[in-house]
Structure 1
């Protein structure tokens, strides 16, 4: 088939026009969601953080909003009329809102991360990520392919190149969707302190999960997963106390 430059120009023009119209429609959709957050959600929402080490408590959520999850500083909800977006709301007096907005600004658009579409006074509107956390995959006996781990690795490398510091990456903060890996929580990516949680999770994946657990297809009860998680935390605290003995920091301090 001969290439007609005018036909190509028309096709490119039509594609650009379609993208622009879609963008305008999305913006109008988001504007309506923002207004719903301001007028319906926030005035009736009851959210509090009793302990910074425990998830926030959502005491009241107006209809028809639905709770998706709660972290130590914020809760994530969605409206059935806007299923492709979520609203992340920080509890009063809890830090992290400005930092999270900055992280999303640096990340821009990447298939393994969500995107911040709007932010105002302690709440963010984010693109919704669908999937199952790796923590839940192990509970349900779902196989986690190697591609998921590689996708997350590549996403974290991308974040580092954008001047960020991937932090607090564990089984509940990463997801699998259609065999690909996603990173759910990026709120601590401005913390420069070294975090080994993802490296530790990868070791467990390659040394134990992939050769032993995955072929068996076992479902692991949540109580057992919680035991592993609590013991891991104790081990990390113990290892951090021993670190000065192996690095010579104690000797140098005298």
Structure 2
């Protein structure tokens, strides 16, 4: 009997495990770098008061970097998240329209390319944010319970995205009025980002268990979930003197 043939299955399994670990490590390094790129470009925009054109170009550049890396690595995990985020990002403009027209708290500059009431770059920006949060949430789910990973991911979303909101005001991308805020981020936006991030860890597991095209359906769910998340958050802490929980405007 050939002894080499007897150990091939185990060797193949060990090699697959090592490859999976290597792929995950490379993906996480890239995601951290991509998050730093987004934070860095927003910081530069805020420091230089760059305006909406810079937001458009920097967002499309980072989007191209993420798509290019995913194609180069043939990364099925990030590919699923980019598809999910892209679908959700285009649905998010309905939420934006509600904020602009109904709450009248969100204001975008005039004279930039728009889709409905949102800047053209907004769906791409949401693609980046959701893909980054989703990959981090999946990484957390492998290291802690589903409940803890879900809470950690939601807390990350509820802090990371409002940071971008704060920087956006200084950069001239958009701003908020007539609503209680922490720095330049409204309380209701902070709460809504926490709420909309809650399903992401669950979605990560579902997406990986199904063909990649199924991620488009999950993106539809994620995009639709944004609307009640924002409405609930607005009802709780959005109005200056009419919310379920009272917070005054300064």
Q: Establish whether TM, by shorter chain, passes 0.5.
A: no
Higher radius of gyration, 1 or 2: 1
Please indicate the TM-score interval, normalised by the length of the shorter structure: 0.3 to 0.5
Q: Structure with the greater relative contact order (CA < 8 A, sep ≥ 6): 1 or 2?
A: 2
Greater share of strand = 1
Greater share of helix = 2
